[in-house]
């Protein structure tokens, strides 16, 4: 079965703290994507990771991919309120499968 | 270019009616995807096109669903004999080439079936 699992599904954290969202997937793939979705809005692409060991950073967000472990992480550094959103990972496993999303709430 | 556009943004229909949605991708984008998203869930893949060719269809896409991209530009998604379970946000995305490229999502069409 093609599965993408995100952990945690809900996260409430304080501004200034660091945290990591995990994305595990069930079948070999070297194409993984991270998206952000604000309430009532569509999805915004954050990162496209295309090889084992790929690391990309944009502002306070950094994503990495370990294809051997079938694991990607999205690390948040010194969180700010504006990062409150739902974050999805998605994996190309012949067709693109999304995780359920991690709803991130950052408290001021 | 203003990005991916979808029309209509909202559609309310009665059970049993047919509905059609339109997606206009970013110009020169060869790939076009359709997804369905229900509240609190991630998008579910429905189908995708490479130019005018439909290359993959999810099992979610029952016989009541059909998608076209006749000239390799805009696409339509039709749902026949709508059911309440079809109520969802229907998202379209496009990318320049294959799945190594960033997908740009449209604003979605929210369907409510009464």
Query: How does pLDDT run across B44-94, given as a tens digit for each residue?
Result: 999 999 999 999 888 877 889 999 999 889 999 999 999 999 999 999 999
Segment A81-95 mean pLDDT? 93
CA distance B18 to chain A (A): 24
**Residue from A23, A96, A97, A99 to probe the interface with B (highest B Cβ count within 10 Å):** A96
pLDDT higher than 60, residue B1: no
Amino acid A36: pLDDT: 97
Residue A2, chain B, CB below 8 Å: the answer is: no
Sort out which chain B residues have CB atoms less than 8 A from A33's CB and list them: 103
Q: Say how many CB pairs under 8 Å bridge A and B.
A: 51
A41, A45, A95 member nearest B56 (Cβ): A95
Task: Return the pLDDT at A40.
Answer: 86
Residue A43 to residues A56, B17, B72: CA-CA distances in angstroms?
19, 29, 23
Give the nearest partner residue to B99 out of A42, A92, A98, using CB atoms.
Answer: A92
The model's pLDDT over A41-71, given as tens digits with 9 standing for 90+, comes to 889 999 999 988 899 999 999 999 999 999 9
A7-27 tens-digit pLDDT = 999 999 999 999 999 999 998
Q: Which chain A residues are Cβ-neighbours of B56 within 8 angstroms?
A: 94-95
In the prediction, which pLDDT does A89 show? 97
Residue-averaged pLDDT of chain A: 94
pLDDT score recorded for residue B97: 85
E-state strands within chain A? 4-7, 10-14, 19-25, 32-37, 43-49, 55-58, 61-66, 71-76, 85-92, 96-98, 102-107
Provide CB contacts within 8 A for A61, sequence distance 6+: A46, A47, A74, A75, A76, A77, A83
CB neighbour list of residue A103: distance below 8 Å, 6 or more residues apart: A9, A10, A11, A86
- Inter-chain residue contact B107 with A44, CB threshold 8 Å: no
C-beta of residue A87 within 8 angstroms of C-beta of residue A4: no
Distance from CA of B45 to the nearest CA of A (A): 6
Percentage with pLDDT > 90 across chain B: 82
Q: With bands split at pLDDT 50, 70 and 90, how would you rate the model's confidence at B101?
A: confident
The pLDDT score that the predictor gives to residue B100 is 83
Which residue in chain B has the smallest CA separation from A51?
Answer: B100
């Amino acid at each position: 079965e093609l599965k993408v699992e995100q952990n945690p599904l809900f996260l409430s954290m304080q501004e200034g703290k660091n945290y990591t969202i995990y994305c595990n997937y069930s079948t070999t793939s070297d194409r993984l994507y991270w998206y952000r979705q604000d309430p009532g809005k569509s999805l915004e692409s954050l990162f496209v990771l295309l090889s084992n060991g790929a690391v990309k950073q944009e502002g306070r967000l950094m994503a990495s991919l370990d294809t051997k472990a079938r694991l990607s992480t999205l690390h948040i550094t010194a969180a700010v309120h504006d990062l409150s959103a739902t974050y999805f990972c998605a994996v190309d496993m012949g067709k693109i499968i999304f995780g359920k999303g991690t709803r991130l709430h950052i408290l001021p | 270019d203003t990005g991916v556009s979808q029309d209509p943004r909202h559609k309310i229909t009665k059970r049993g009616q047919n509905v059609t949605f339109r997606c206009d991708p970013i110009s020169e984008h060869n790939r076009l995807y359709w997804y369905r998203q229900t509240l609190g869930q991630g998008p579910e893949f429905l189908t995708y096109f490479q130019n005018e060719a439909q290359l993959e269809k999810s099992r979610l896409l029952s016989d009541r669903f059909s998608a076209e991209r006749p000239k390799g530009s805009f696409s339509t998604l039709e749902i026949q004999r709508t059911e309440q379970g079809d109520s969802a946000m229907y998202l379209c995305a496009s990318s320049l080439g294959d799945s190594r490229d960033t997908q740009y999502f449209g604003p979605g069409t929210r369907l409510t079936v009464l």
